[in-house]
Amino acid sequence: MAGVSPARPLFLATNSQDKEELRRLPEMVLHHFGAATRLLQEIDLFAAIPPEARPVVELLIAADATSFVGNAISTFSMNILMERDVLGKHRNSTIFQGLGSVDSWG
């Protein structure tokens, strides 16, 4: 993905429950994007947020990002897209896995 560098934060949200996948995730992110990972759960402020509110925090972080890559069949990704629209983010800053950029959505 263009524009990703260790100097720019990379936020990755996942609902995976696969422990092996989650264990490998930091290594894959480092290999593919050159970015270190830190779990939100490790941040004291995030730990103070009730578990039922945490997905909302993740949605707001992703919605406010410079760029967003989502999954076209994910309700969570669609909610992020709608929030990005409300915030006035350009559609060309959003890509959906398998669909590509906004120019190829039609």
Domain boundaries, the chain: 19-104
Q: Which helix (H) or strand (E) holds 68?
A: strand 68-71
Kindly report which listed range (5-9, 43-47, 75-79, 98-102) carries the lowest average pLDDT score.
5-9
Structure-token pair, residue 100: 């590509």
- pLDDT for residue 60: 92
- On whether the CB atoms of residues 93 and 67 are closer than 8 A, the answer is yes
pTM of the shown model: 0.73
Q: Considering the chain, what is the average pLDDT of its residues?
A: 82
What's the CA angle centered on 78, arms 77 and 83, to 5 degrees? 95
